[in-house]
Amino acid sequence: MLQKLIKNEKFFCIMISAILLAAGQSKRINNHNKLLLRYKNKVMVNHILQSLIKSKVNKIIVVLGYEK
């Protein structure tokens, strides 16, 4: 996670960004996109994004598309 201090006259605020790396080849699971596999009736990427949103990070960056 990246951290950046922003100075204000009254307080310091820490900004935290999360980077979700979702651009792999998925070779170990026969080239199926592992983030689109279902787990508990939702695709895996949904679980990950919901966790990031609940963690209250300030910014979420998603990297998609292997070699595109």
Per-residue pLDDT, 2:
44
- As for how many domains the chain has, the answer is 1
Q: Which residues touch 59 (CB under 8 Å, ≥6 apart)?
A: 15, 16, 17, 18
Residue in this structure with the two tokens 């951290």, named with its chain if needed: 3
Distance between CA atoms of residues 25 and 16, nearest Å: 28
Q: Give per-residue pLDDT as tens, 16-53.
A: 999 998 877 777 777 777 778 888 999 888 999 999 99
pTM of the model: 0.64
Domain span at residue 30? Answer: 2-64
